[in-house]
Structure 1
């Protein structure tokens, strides 16, 4: 049940796509640009567990709520770096997201940085989040309301600026640029390269054919490393000021010989991890939420009425972000349908059996398809429908645990979950407070994959209220 595993004798047969070819395997219908959506489509036909054999490499996908719950057992399963994530070690190294469980730096960094995501720390970030949201509003106003807005591009500007300032007291001047920051262009290129070459580079021939593409990717990675080094160098050259951010925690620990201190190379890995993961997934979540708001007038009206009632026309204090409970449900439902980090892998710590049925040897792993999990029959008869009230407290309580996993699972789940939620609700509330949004009536949702998910070609027209 890993890339190299063969089926266990006597185990239940795991279905696979029809028309499997000798040597090549299940390559018919494979789309290297949309492998996640391709796998979700196959799962609709084959059920909550299936396998794909591509060029001799076996992948097992699961989405059944009972299986996902079993895989969440930390005593028997742990995080596994799936091939696409493993490919990112070229930029993330042993950072929080790309570290192997056996590497000590991930636990050190987690312990060191956890205070940066406490409620006290979140309060300290609130002012910066408001300022960046205000810059988005000014940017939209400068460009004239009523004109089409590239939602995903602008949400990316916003979230990159937010993590840059809150995490590292560094501005990318995102809203002073008409084009995307070169860091974003390099990041998208690297993520897309990793996604598209996962299957290709699983063979010696594929690795040979990918050499030119790899060389271009090396240039992108080098540029990203240069940007991160500039962020760190700027802090070292200007140490004054009341910096209480992620970078300060790491630099201070090194100076004070903290037992959780990390070395210079790992500091770079953590900075690039937070710059990428800290903005890419949240920008996608905001984009999907705005898409569903624009497509559901009743939901939009209800969300806007809540903002008017709770915030009025005033700038919201920290406490009033969490009071936008309906807006939060809109965000949760958007992440149910399109979780922007759409999969994670779990490996067996020892020989075991999944749900008492599928034997797994130590090291065997499976890939959880989160969009399929979020469409499990437990979600009702029409899981494709957008319905924020699925997240009413009574409905959440009625569902079994582990049916909703947009932030991963276990000890290696997303450390920045509360940061992302606070930022996203604040930004959605600000947009609803300031603008009326109007969709392009001809737009049909198209989702682009680059390990993360994002609406492609999605525009809105906004008018000041």
Structure 2
């Protein structure tokens, strides 16, 4: 017989919206929801449920349960919360489509083989950005999260559509504002949202500005065709191998914007977290600097060097374990089912949130920051689905190989060229969250080596 899933006490109509902030009624939502969910998992255990303004969501955090739920034959990706709000911009793009939407199937069959070709021009694009480091002042006091966000955005724009974004402040700020508002809208009662006229107006203007930018790029490519082997040409010229269909202009715009958002948010956050952990663990920084010096010398990194920098790969794996930038993912069961060895009943289509932030801290598997556990021979011995920052199954991240190359190339260039230190040696990691998580108030000193 199945057990009742634990749930904190709530309020009529509002449900458990105050449970994420220790019951403080005037401030119902924490800045970092992932931390609020973490505290609930500590209190209620591996599974609990919340009523969020009338919408029931089940949360799971243990390795045993998450591993069971990583099964495409029983569960599918659920697009809800802040991710669902991004559909106002991205519609049924490759990342935000509901299960079974036709446009996703066509785009997926066209784009997956293209991403399998690995580099997609990443090296020339990244070399342009990393070469800028050489012309910087000798001593820098920088916000690495902000700078790496711009590098990542420039890179994905150049590689996906041969477009040099050059970190245009209006577009970057528009995207940041849009993502933050998506997170806010997911946490507001709809009746409150209706009366926020100024906020709603800006949100719509932000959407129009970003779609107009992508539309202009598409129209320019149509008017001035090139032989560039970028994602834009793949979408313009490709045909679905199953149906022969081509992607519509609207679908191309949806996916261009998807690449910009999904392709820069996660990588820039991970690189920023990596710098934090390196600075907090000087013995790891020393080991990494030694490896990079031995492999690269004073030469820029090439794609062929990445497999030789095993410790760098381990540092990134361990960073993304502790701080998976997509801290929570959601799925739903295709049929009524029981999970946890028959302990818990879950109804068909009921959303289940996988707390990846907690999965990656399950004490049955993990401990402190320790890159050595992620070296190739150890990494391959990890239990299935214990480390899954890129999702699982058919809806896993199709750009993970590209993102990994980008992170390796950028981080190796930074560590090769600079000695780093915290501006405030007493700084302890703080996090901000919109769609993804990133360091907050994190500043470093960079001195050319």
User: Relative to structure 1, is the Cα distance of residues 123 and 443 closer, same or farther in structure 2, using a 3 angstrom cutoff?
Assistant: same
Per-residue deviation, 1:260:
4.5
Listed one character per residue, the Cα deviations across residues 99-121 of structure 1 (whole Å, up to 9, x for unaligned) are: 111211112111111232124x4
2:180 to 192, 197, 200: 192
Q: Which residue does 1:217 correspond to in 2?
A: 203
Q: Which residue does 2:11 correspond to in 1?
A: 21
1:22-421 residue pairs with structure 2 within 5 A? 22-28=12-18, 29=21, 30-119=28-117, 121-122=118-119, 124-135=121-132, 137-138=133-134, 141-142=135-136, 144-174=137-167, 181-201=169-189, 203=190, 205-240=191-226, 242-253=227-238, 259-355=244-340, 356-380=342-366, 383=367, 385-421=368-404
2:50/2:58 contact within 8 Å kept: yes
Per-residue deviation, 1:256:
12
Listed one character per residue, the Cα deviations across residues 175-207 of structure 1 (whole Å, up to 9, x for unaligned) are: xxxxx6222211111111111221313x4x234
Q: Distance in 2 between matches of 1:77 and 1:156?
A: 33
Q: Distance in 2 between matches of 1:257 and 1:386?
A: 45
Q: Distance in 1 between matches of 2:175 and 2:93?
A: 16
Q: Distance in 1 between matches of 2:256 and 2:219?
A: 12
Q: Which residue does 2:25 correspond to in 1?
A: none
Per-residue deviation, 1:292:
0.8
Per-residue deviation, 1:211:
4.5
2:62/2:359 contact within 8 Å kept: yes
Q: Which residue does 1:7 correspond to in 2?
A: none
Per-residue deviation, 1:275:
0.8
User: Relative to structure 1, is the Cα distance of residues 403 and 101 closer, same or farther in structure 2, using a 3 angstrom cutoff?
Assistant: same
Q: Distance in 2 between matches of 1:43 and 1:352?
A: 22
1:43/1:49 contact within 8 Å kept: yes
Q: Distance in 2 between matches of 1:343 and 1:460?
A: 28
SS in 2 for 1:379: coil
Q: Structure 2 length as normaliser, TM-score?
A: 0.93
Per-residue deviation, 1:255:
12
SS in 1 for 2:353: strand
Give me the CA root mean square deviation: 2.0
Stretch deviating more after TM superposition (228-237 or 207-216): 207-216
User: Relative to structure 1, is the Cα distance of residues 245 and 352 closer, same or farther in structure 2, using a 3 angstrom cutoff?
Assistant: same
1:112/1:260 contact within 8 Å kept: no
User: Relative to structure 1, is the Cα distance of residues 123 and 246 closer, same or farther in structure 2, using a 3 angstrom cutoff?
Assistant: closer
1:289/1:330 contact within 8 Å kept: yes
Listed one character per residue, the Cα deviations across residues 412-448 of structure 1 (whole Å, up to 9, x for unaligned) are: 0100000000110111111111111111214221111
User: Relative to structure 1, is the Cα distance of residues 213 and 158 closer, same or farther in structure 2, using a 3 angstrom cutoff?
Assistant: same
Q: Structure 1 length as normaliser, TM-score?
A: 0.90
Stretch deviating more after TM superposition (64-73 or 52-61): 52-61
Q: Which residue does 2:24 correspond to in 1?
A: none
Unaligned runs of 5+ in 1: 1-9, 175-179
Per-residue deviation, 1:123:
6.3
Paired residue total = 439
Q: Which residue does 2:421 correspond to in 1?
A: 438
Per-residue deviation, 1:64:
1.1
